[in-house]
Structure 1
């Protein structure tokens, strides 16, 4: 039976996908700095559930790349990383969806529990800027183990803040996963009547950010 957590399409996920479409169309994500173009921008979705924003994004980026000539150096690298908690049954569903996606070469499904270590290359802490080059094979943490040792230009989180008990852990993952100083987070949400609206809005409290 459905629990409506990770196995349903929520309005916040659709909103995130529409935001992604508008940002791409309006050129708000034109490059990742240092001469890197849109084809090099790295995306991470946290708490993806069924991954609607990421799957939509893969269509947009894949279609754009198919019309680009010549192929960029490094083409074929993973660009969109879709995550949900470790040992969560929906990782299997995400893998199945990605396996059927026409641009699956751009996507990687990765396990990540909010708040866990995210450091990249060897000797790098979660509080230090992540390197842009290859990860050390001895690096520790989610980014080194699953994401090639590089942080992300855009982090997406859709309908992930309805439970205030997990706000701090989610904020830790966003802060640790974002590339610095230009990374940006896109957080969309709905109110589910499980707590007072003020408790949900508290996620965006400037003092906590």
Structure 2
């Protein structure tokens, strides 16, 4: 019993440490769960103040749901605002029938798609711990409640699925098959994972489907190494058909005030 108590004390110390380390990330948080390890936030659409989304952050999932990144905010805004959506996607049937988000984290773009009426939204990220996925489900439920969507409706439209890029895609495709729209926010900063992400993307897209990739230059590697993703994408039959660049004062996810690191680059790839 002494060992169990020691383990609990150590876990409690770790939890308090994480709360302290990520305290700046929860500024403006609305609420926290019972353990204080999942925080509730409200994101208000910059261009339309009456539109807002609730999202949650999981402190014990660093890099996978502990922060909201600029590119996720930018993609969500381009999904909701019609004029921005047309600038990014052009003339497409809206809303898409089926969407998959890779490396979702706080899953803001997926929440925006649910609001827009997308028939099926698959929210995926690498499994780190249960908390990260609990936070996503809390976000889905909170917004569904605000929008008057029943649990039956939301369960039929939304799936939260653990997925490591380049591995089994069966759970992503499900019974309805491949997706019309894929989204990846701040997923290409590490060139080591480019090929795996593209393998998952090409395996889950319909012909003519679109893949929206949002990224910033984090400084961990050279910009050319990040941009090599798009050269590799051509080998997979994915071609960039449109792109937008969005300026920012700094990068929320890495706590940087450097505008060059906060700028978001959005690229739309089409499966040929």
Report if TM-score (shorter chain) is over 0.5. yes
**Number of residue equivalences:** 163
Structure index of larger Rg: 2
Which residue is equivalent to 1:94? 136
C-alpha separation in 1, matches of 2:68 and 2:184? 14
C-alpha separation in 2, matches of 1:92 and 1:10? 19
**Distance change (3 Å), C-alpha of 1:166 and 1:153:** same
- Conserved 8 A contact 1:42-1:80: yes
C-alpha displacement of 1:143: 3.6
From 167, 175, 178, the equivalent of 2:205 is 178
C-alpha separation in 1, matches of 2:129 and 2:223? 27
- Conserved 8 A contact 2:123-2:161: yes
C-alpha displacement of 1:61: 2.0
- Conserved 8 A contact 1:47-1:83: yes
**Distance change (3 Å), C-alpha of 1:29 and 1:9:** farther
**Distance change (3 Å), C-alpha of 1:117 and 1:149:** farther
TM-score (norm 2): 0.54
Moved more, 9-18 or 155-164: 9-18
C-alpha separation in 2, matches of 1:99 and 1:107? 10
Which residue is equivalent to 1:15? 74
TM-score (norm 1): 0.69
The one of the two structures with greater contact order (alpha-carbon pairs below 8 A, sep at least 6) is 1
Gaps of 5+ in 1: 32-37, 63-77, 119-140
Render the CA deviation track for 1:27-72: whole Å, top value 9, x for unaligned.
Answer: 84643xxxxxx4661011000001011111211227xxxxxxxxxx
**Distance change (3 Å), C-alpha of 1:88 and 1:203:** farther
Render the CA deviation track for 1:127-157: whole Å, top value 9, x for unaligned.
Answer: xxxxxxxxxxxxxx3345xx22511000000
Aligned-CA RMSD value: 2.4
- Conserved 8 A contact 2:64-2:128: no
1:1-209 equivalence runs, <5 A: 1=18, 2=22, 3=62, 5-22=64-81, 26=86, 28=90, 30-31=92-93, 38=94, 41-61=97-117, 79-89=120-130, 90-102=132-144, 103=149, 105=154, 106-118=157-169, 141-143=170-172, 147-180=174-207, 182-205=208-231, 207-209=234-236
